[in-house]
Structure 1
Amino acid sequence: MLKIDNLHAFYGKSHVLHGVSFEVQAGEIVALLGRNGSGRSTTARAIMGLVDCQGTVLWNDQHIAQKKPYQIAHLGIGYVPENRDIFPKLTVQQNLLLGQKGNGQGSRWSFDDMYAMFPRLKEREHTEAGVLSGGEQQMLTLCRTLMGDPDLIIIDEPTEGLAPKIVELVGQYLQTLKARGISVLLIEQKLTIAMDISDRVLVMGHGRIVFSGTPQALRDDVYTRKEWLEV
């Protein structure tokens, strides 16, 4: 489905990713872990065509490394950035509507699906998004991305700054995506949620993948956790 091979990424003269390689298969949740500055968010941005990069990015056997972000999105990759990027002056309903491709016909997801997953958004349906709480804005961003009916969703730090109950909701949401056949690349710092819901975990350090395996393999790998994850 998604295959990254020998990916290098740059911010100007700064060389951030150094030969990153991994895959995400259909219906799989893969967690990309690592400390701040390890290259996780840059990896997401490189996949989406938002930073200069070299190497191979294959999506369903199609090369996408040189495509524009909107072209990549229309191919079926959704992206939820860390800063959420809601439209503050538009209502919840209007934000969701902007996420649709075309008229939304044939999509696996509807407004009712979004409101069933997050009833709080239904209550705030006609409220401007800018006055929502941080947790509500995160729910809205996730749902707006889903309205575009992606086959893979890349989510950067979805639980950052959220209350424990909302973190639990986000975990349930991601498992719902998997049940619907959607692949997830989860960029996360909270090991608990990542280890609980992921099929595989990757650990990044200094712009490279330093570990790839199952959650249990990472639990058993004391050296990797101490060297690359624990503060």
Structure 2
Amino acid sequence: MLQVRDLQAWYGKSHVLHGVNLAVQPGEIVALLGRNGSGRSTCAKAIMGMVHAAGQLRFKEQDLLGKKPFEIAHLGLGYVPESRDIFPRLTVHQNLMLGQKGSGRASRWNFDDMYAMFPRLKERCSVEAGLLSGGEQQMLTLCRTLMGDPDCILIDEPTEGLAPKIVEQVGQYLQRLQERGIAVLLIEQKLTIAMHISNRVLVMGHGRIVFEGTPDALRADAQVRKEWLEV
């Protein structure tokens, strides 16, 4: 579904990605792990057309390079940024409405699905999003992206700063996406959730993929964990 080959990316003159290769298939959760500064977030932004990039990017057999972010989104690729980027003066319900694409096809998801997944959002549906807690804003960002009915979602650090109970809810959310055939590229630092729900894990270091395998294979490779993941 999503294929990345020899991906290079830059911020100005700073060369950040150096030949990244990865793929995500329908209904697969792939975790992209690594320390801060390893290039994980840049990889997501490059896929979404938000930074200068070169190489090969294909989604559902269509080339992404050269397309604008909104064009990529309309192809069915969703993006949940680390910054969350909610609309603070709009209500929870209005934020969810903005996630709808209005493509004309019947969506796999609706408001009832979102409120069933995160009941706290239903309780606060008329509250301005800027008044939500960090965990509630993360729930809202995840659901707003899902309202656009993507076939694949790139999620950047969804559990950052969240309480353990909310982290567990996010994990359940990702597994529900998988059950409906949605592909997920999960950028995460918490090994516990990534190793628990992912089909495959990739480890990034210095702008390259330095490991690819199953969660069990990474658990068994102490050298990779020590060199590229542990503080």
- In the superposition, the TM-score normalised over structure 1's length comes to 0.99
- What is the correspondence of 1:1-231 to structure 2 with a 5 Å cutoff? 1-102=1-102, 106-231=106-231
Structure 1, residues 106-126: CA drift from partner, whole Å, max 9, x if none?
Answer: 000000000000000000000
Q: SS of the counterpart of 1:135?
A: helix
The residue type equivalent to 2:135 in the other structure is: G
Displacement of 1:60 in angstroms is 1.1
Displacement of 1:176 in angstroms is 0.3
Displacement of 1:66 in angstroms is 1.0
Taking the aligned partners of 1:51 and 1:103, their CA distance within structure 2 comes to 26
Displacement of 1:169 in angstroms is 0.3
Displacement of 1:104 in angstroms is 6.8
The residue type equivalent to 2:206 in the other structure is: H
The residue type equivalent to 2:123 in the other structure is: E
The residue type equivalent to 1:206 in the other structure is: H
The residue type equivalent to 1:99 in the other structure is: G
Displacement of 1:35 in angstroms is 0.0
Structure 1, residues 130-165: CA drift from partner, whole Å, max 9, x if none?
Answer: 000000000000000000000000000000000000
Taking the aligned partners of 2:45 and 2:64, their CA distance within structure 1 comes to 13
Displacement of 1:24 in angstroms is 0.4
Displacement of 1:65 in angstroms is 1.2
Taking the aligned partners of 1:67 and 1:110, their CA distance within structure 2 comes to 28
Cα RMSD for the two superposed structures: 0.8
Q: Which runs of 5+ in 1 are unaligned?
A: none
Structure 1, residues 155-199: CA drift from partner, whole Å, max 9, x if none?
Answer: 000000000000000000000000011000000000000000000
Displacement of 1:105 in angstroms is 5.1
Percent identical residues: 76
The residue type equivalent to 1:46 in the other structure is: A
Taking the aligned partners of 1:222 and 1:104, their CA distance within structure 2 comes to 50
Taking the aligned partners of 1:105 and 1:59, their CA distance within structure 2 comes to 19
Displacement of 1:68 in angstroms is 0.2
Aligned residues: 231
Taking the aligned partners of 1:6 and 1:215, their CA distance within structure 2 comes to 24
Taking the aligned partners of 1:206 and 1:85, their CA distance within structure 2 comes to 27
Q: Which runs of 5+ in 2 are unaligned?
A: none
Structure 1, residues 12-68: CA drift from partner, whole Å, max 9, x if none?
Answer: 000000000010011100000000000000000000000000000011111111100
Taking the aligned partners of 1:104 and 1:94, their CA distance within structure 2 comes to 20
Give every structure 1 segment of 4 or more consecutive aligned residues whose post-TM-superposition deviation is greater than 3 Å. none
Displacement of 1:102 in angstroms is 1.1
Taking the aligned partners of 1:12 and 1:77, their CA distance within structure 2 comes to 25
The residue type equivalent to 2:88 in the other structure is: P
